[in-house]
Amino acid sequence: MSHAWDPQRYLTYADERGRPFVDLITRIDAADPHVVVDLGCGPGNLTSLLADRWPAASVTGIDSSEDMVRAASDSPAAERVSFHRADLRDWLATVAPGSVDVLVSNATLQWVDGHLDLVPALVAALAPGGWLAFQVPGNADQPTTTIREELAAEPPYDLHTAGAARIAAHDAATYLRVLQGLGCEVDAWETTYLHVLQGPDPVFTWVSGTGARPTLQALPDDLRPAFEEEFRARLRAAYPDDGAGVVMPFRRIFVVAKVPG
């Protein structure tokens, strides 16, 4: 079941969402790459950091969402970054082997079914000595996910949400071993961020722009308000505000790999 992204909703808490991207790219030790690609670039605000890091490189952002690519193309980042709409699998099928020096994917691979099988193709796209860097969420066991899944499985919602896209990621060790098997030098780790969120129902605001969006869009208009009301209530109970903001732990998995030179 397809779903659409809302760039403005996604950019809520943009600073918090951007922290993992910064932590990821600081571990890429590429001195002077010529071609840099951001797979799943979203609205382009983070892709611009790649142009900051490597100003002499040709930087391209790829995203499957027309709305995201439009927002990116209308942003200041478009002055230094080329943005294109393409499905990740389609891009991999057409990119010339060995043509990319740095390939970054930030919180995107978890949306691609069977993405572990695509890792060899991602590595094949890299030039000798090139770098692959990605991060995916590792919070499938957290209330932000379990509450949504439990509620979506209840009637009458279950009739509509069964086919909604769901996030799926592996642990750091799995990615490390796969990439080692392809001859890469690999750095893999995980970090749990403690995001302090402000405002009314901030956890709902966060997840409604990302992981919960496909479920919400799968619901018909006459059911969505009741689902959202109950979802908000359960999230408030799981993530209480003690007066100093809501603390939302968010575990993320990072992988940086260098192919043989």
Domain residue limits, the chain: 7-258
List, in sequence order, every beta strand (DSSP E) within 126-176: 126-137
Rounded mean pLDDT of 12-24? 82
pTM summary value: 0.92
| 6 vs 208: CA distance, rounded Å | 10
Cβ-based neighbour number of residue 181 at 10 Å: 11
- CA separation for the pair 261, 128 (Å, rounded): 4
Predicted pLDDT at 167: 86
Tell me what percent of the residues of the chain surpass a pLDDT of 90: 88
pLDDT for 225 beyond 60: yes
Cα(182)–Cα(189) distance, integer angstroms: 19
Q: Is 187 helix (H, G, I), strand (E, B) or coil?
A: strand
Q: Which of 7, 28, 241, 21 is nearest to 132 (CA)?
A: 28
- Name the least confident of 8-22, 100-114, 117-131, 162-176: 8-22
Strands 81-85 and 185-197, sheet pairing = unpaired
Collapsed DSSP state (helix, strand, coil) of residue 254:
strand
At 253, which helix (H) or strand (E)? strand 246-258
- Please identify which residue in the block is written with the tokens 């995201």: 68
* pLDDT tier, 2 (very low <50, low <70, confident <90, very high otherwise): very low
> Which CATH code is given to the segment(s) 7-258?
3.40.50.150
Average pLDDT over the chain, rounded to an integer: 93
Please tell me the number of Cα atoms within 13 Å of 21 on its side-chain side. Answer: 24
pLDDT at 166: 84
Alpha carbons 194 and 245: distance in angstroms, whole number: 11
Phi, psi dihedrals of residue 155, rounded to the nearest 5°: -70, 150
Question: Does residue 38 carry a pLDDT above 70?
Answer: yes
Confidence of residue 211 (pLDDT cuts 50, 70, 90): confident
The torsion angle over the Cα atoms of residues 244, 245, 250 and 255, rounded to 10 degrees, is -80
Question: What is the residue whose two structure tokens read 């571990």?
Answer: 27
Q: Is 181 helix (H, G, I), strand (E, B) or coil?
A: helix
Quick one: pLDDT at residue 22?
92
Asked if residue 75 has pLDDT above 50, the reply is yes
Above 60 in pLDDT, residue 4? no
Structure tokens at 251: 């575990």
pLDDT at 16: 83
